[in-house]
Amino acid sequence: MAREKLKGKDVLDLGYPEGKVIGLALNLMEKYFKNTSKDEQVALLNDLFHNPEKYRHHKKLEKLVQELDAEKNKMREIILTESLLDFKTYGAEYIEPGAVFQMETAMSLPVTVAGALMPDAHQGYGLPIGGVLATENAVIPYGVGVDIGCRMCLTLYDLPVGIIEKDKSKLKQLLNDHTRFGAGKGFEKPMDDAIFERREFKEIAVVRGQKQKAVDQIGSSGSGNHFVEFGITELTDARNEFNLPIGKYLAVLSHSGSRGLGATIANHYTKLAMQNRKLPPHARHLAWLDLHSEEGQEYWQAMTLAGDYASACHHQIHARLSKALGEEPLTMVENHHNFAWKEQLSNGREVIVHRKGATPAGKGVLGIIPGSMTSPGFLVRGKGVEEAIYSASHGAGRIMSRRRALDTISEKEVKTLLAQHRVALMGGGLDEAPMAYKDIHHVMKSQEELVEVLGTFTPRIVRMDR
């Protein structure tokens, strides 16, 4: 079996700065240590990074120490504050230690003002999924996330809910015909959209380079936990903002984001942030851009565009299905996460609020918090709690990593559970099995002070990638 080869990302993950030093490390490992395993090479480079004096006169590695010194002198490491700011955690009993550690790291950044951890939180990159962070004049690309502006969108129809069983085959065909999923996927003849007239597609180089891909992917959804589904919404609050009577409605719910456009923007500006601000290795993905800087302003514009593009994708999904159903929706509700907002705290201080996998829940703000494909989602109204930075969870949150789900959950288990809940699944992998997610009822119980429930959404026909 061929030896697994050391890669640039392996060296980068140790905290080495991007550029010449990583290439030198790879070359030296290949030249002098090619007969050792990848793990041994990683261990050696890790030791050199943290204990350079041991290798300063090492015949084979002294050049790497010198280059590393030069890079460190160019950009001094930013020191995290010793006493991290307090933050409120909701549903702490359901949150893994790794997510808490990531939130604590974020709270020790010198630009941090406040933060909170939502009950669906789990470990991610940089800011944990379910993390909310308010900063002073700074935006963290990985505090926003890769799928910029990922969102939920719900439409209700004046159609009998019985058609879900009666016309199940027809509704499945509508989803098959009018949705597209997966990396690089789109419609043969994508619909046009006013979003493509935006000046950002001309003025920002990284956005300009993604325009054709954005055109090709408009109206489509990504992979992973993204979905479009028919289900039943039951309105339970007669005081709802839609002026609709309480009762059950046929509904369409979608969840997806800004596709390749958002991912490219996130990775480009994260790289810039990490080049400009050197953080300790465990905090490196929290590198920020100053909003007064050219890069910061450019990222803000690109992020805003990606969020609007994600919204345009949802509007096209729902427009296609509305036309196919031959019905205009009674109402539409949408909310997004993986975004940054300029907001004011109660003391009048303006902050940048990052919600990575968290739903805006300002006073009176409407949103949708999904469960899993066999558990209900919730239509909610925010209560505007400042301790939570005016936020709530964005879903149930994972209780298993994708790898663990694939290793431990069987297709038979999933099929049995889907049948019990009368859910028809089109696509979807074992990594998205319902049992890979937390109990949405526990999550909602943990945030009763943050949102009030207007109704529920029960999935019945679910389409995902694969």
Residue at token pair 């558990």: 375
Residue 73 CB neighbour total at 10 angstroms: 8
Residue at token pair 């703000």: 365
- The model carries a pTM of 0.83
d(CA 82, CA 188): 55
Angle at CA of residue 177, ends 181 and 455, nearest 5°: 75
- Full set of structural domains in the chain with CATH: 8-74 (no CATH), 145-277+303-463 (3.90.1860.10)
Give the tens place of pLDDT for each residue, 139-196.
999 999 999 999 999 999 999 999 999 999 999 999 999 999 998 899 999 999 999 9
3-state SS, residue 76: coil
pLDDT of residue 82: 76
Q: How far is CA 81 from CA 108, 279, 281, 368, in A?
A: 5, 12, 15, 36
pLDDT of residue 76: 58
pLDDT of residue 62: 95
Residues 6+ apart with CB under 8 A from 143: 106, 126, 127, 131, 133, 135, 286, 288, 340, 354, 356
d(CA 235, CA 246): 5
d(CA 377, CA 459): 8
Give the residue among 155, 139, 144 at the shortest CA–CA distance from 337.
144
d(CA 417, CA 81): 48
Kindly give the parts of the chain with pLDDT less than 70.
1-2, 72-77
- DSSP secondary structure of 112-145: EEEEEEEEEEE--SSSPEEEEEEESSEE-HHHH-
Give the tens place of pLDDT for each residue, 159-175.
999 999 999 999 999 99
pLDDT of residue 63: 95
Tell me if 157 sits within 8 A of 250, measured CB to CB.
yes
Give the residue among 223, 193, 189, 173 at the shortest CA–CA distance from 312.
193
pLDDT of residue 206: 95
97 exposure class (CB count in 10 Å sphere: 0-12, 13-18, 19+): exposed
Instruction: Indicate left, alpha or beta for 348 from its phi (over 0: left) and psi (-120 to 50: alpha).
Output: left
Residue 323 CB neighbour total at 10 angstroms: 12
d(CA 391, CA 113): 16
